[in-house]
Amino acid sequence: MEGLDGAVRMDYKRFFKKKVFLKLGIILAVMAVLYFLISIYFTNHFYYNTVINGVDVSFKTYDEVILIIEEYIDQYQLELVGRDGYTEKITGNDVGLFLNKKSSIYQIQYVQKPYFWISSYIKDCRYFVGDLFLYDEEALNSRIDALIFLNKEVVEPKSVSFEYSNGSYQAIKEVYGNKINRELLNQVITRSILKGERTLDIDANNCYENPKYTLHSEKTKETGDTLNKFVKSKIIYRFGSKNEIIDDKRIRQWLRVNRNLDIIIDGQEIYNDIKGLAKKYNTVGIKRNFKTSTGKTVEVSGGLYGWKIDLLGEKEILLEEIQSGRIIQREPIYAQRALSREENDIGNTYVEINITKQHLWFYKDGELVTEGPIVTGNLSRGFDTDLGTYMLNYKITNATLRGQGYESKVKYWMPFYGNIGIHDARWRHSFGGNIYKQNGSHGCINAPTYLARELYEEIESGMPIICYEE
């Protein structure tokens, strides 16, 4: 009995499996037939989710599509969206839009294989047929010309700028304006119409001319940081007991920012300001009130002695210091220096030559070192010794002095103005008095040997030499 029951159970299982497989086979067969029938349907119909130039043609035949597109054209309008909330519409009628019945739209059916129709339920089937729509180019251009976007008062775009306030530079927000690139606008509108698009964001399609740099540009931050670095510089010039300060109040006048946000430092303005300092503090050739050894105070002007700022050298150094953001206290670069930086730049070490008295004095640190009679330039022959304040250029011994019609050997030579200098004159037997008027030198200061020697032993290059008349 047990064997019989087992056999019954095995037959039941076989029967059940056969039934399941039979049903499954029937279902698959039905599905296959259905898929085949749908595939036949799509031999002359477009897929589901098929959009051509903005027109939904799902499940439509070619002939139906033509009618749908013609109706679409009759109702077509493109909405333009611009800045500041401006909108405007261009209709198909405005531009003479019509269907090109000889277009290549039919080729889409060859692309859409009937047996692959199920793919349209997975992804959209969007196509652009470039020759589907035709338009009147002249009408389109006229319509674009009439757009309110192109007929408003034009506000030019402006990149971010910089303004100095309260000790630092602040970036001023850019201006976007409303200036439109006419050529690009034409291209974008034409493309949108041909694609059948309903809305066109002019700004999103970059039809506006935009500022090159904005608050968020990396160049903006870089330029702002550099500007503020420059104006934090501070140069304190020392002129003896007086100071002149170059700080943000002046530095910002030298700075410019061009369209590319590059910082331009006006070198000419810097040079002009240094010239202003030179005019104020240079002392070469200035008028000086000089108290003579005879007790009189005379005005002496001219000559080569004094302070002289090196304009070009100082400009270069100042540029470097500004660009490095330095705070520094120093003297300017001098092309020539004097002994004292106070109001009396001569100090108390100098050679005093009184042309009227024909006498020379030499003071060192306020003490008289030597003095004596001299002979200066011959007045009768026009060889007058030049007046003014000079400085000793150098000193040498055993020199030969040459000039027009003369050659003289001297033991002590101390030039202070070209070939004019102080020297011994062993050929002379007397000095002082009125000798210079008729029998003077060629402009040099002739001194007795003892006086020339004593002066030579104490004087140094750069020491002042004052030539004056009472």
Contact 414, 422 (CB under 8 A): yes
Q: Which CATH architecture has domain 350-468?
A: Beta Barrel (2.40)
Q: What one-character DSSP code corresponds to residue 331?
A: P
Collapsing DSSP to helix, strand or coil, 319 comes out as: helix
pLDDT of residue 123: 74
Gap between the Cα atoms of 283 and 391, Å rounded: 13
Calculate helix-pair angle for 267-281, 311-324, nearest 10 degrees: 120
CA atoms within 13 A on the CB side of 170: 6
Gap between the Cα atoms of 61 and 42, Å rounded: 9
Collapsing DSSP to helix, strand or coil, 207 comes out as: coil
pLDDT of residue 406: 84
Of the candidates 395, 407, 412, 396, the residue with the CA atom closest to the CA atom of residue 451 = 412
Pairing of strands 445-447, 420-424: parallel
Gap between the Cα atoms of 401 and 415, Å rounded: 11
Determine the residue type at 16: F
Residue 80 main-chain phi, psi, to 5 deg: -95, 130
Gap between the Cα atoms of 273 and 322, Å rounded: 14
CA atoms within 13 A on the CB side of 62: 13
The tokens for 373 are 């009679």
* CATH, range 230-282+305-336: 3.10.20.800
pLDDT of residue 65: 79
Mean pLDDT by groups of 10 residues along the chain of 470 residues: 51 61 67 63 73 81 81 91 90 91 76 63 77 90 89 92 94 95 93 91 94 97 97 96 95 96 96 97 95 96 96 96 95 95 92 98 97 97 95 96 88 96 96 96 97 98 96
Gap between the Cα atoms of 443 and 458, Å rounded: 23
Q: What one-character DSSP code corresponds to residue 52?
A: E
In 10 A of CB 27, how many CB atoms?
10
Gap between the Cα atoms of 95 and 193, Å rounded: 10
- Residue identified by tokens 């019954």 is 8
Where along the chain do its domains lie?
A: 42-216, 230-282+305-336, 350-468
pLDDT of residue 110: 64
Contact 176, 210 (CB under 8 A): yes
pLDDT of residue 163: 96
Q: Is 166 exposed, middle or buried (0-12, 13-18, 19+ CB in 10 A)?
A: exposed
Pairing of strands 168-172, 161-165: antiparallel
Alpha helices in 246-364 (DSSP H): 248-251, 267-281, 311-324
The pTM score is 0.74
Residue environment code for 267-276, b if the CB has 16+ CB neighbours within 10 A, otherwise e:
eeebeebbee
Gap between the Cα atoms of 177 and 380, Å rounded: 82
Q: Is 2 exposed, middle or buried (0-12, 13-18, 19+ CB in 10 A)?
A: exposed
What Cα–Cα distance (Å) separates residue 368 from each residue in 361, 362, 364, 365, 449?
7, 6, 6, 8, 18
Determine the residue type at 48: Y
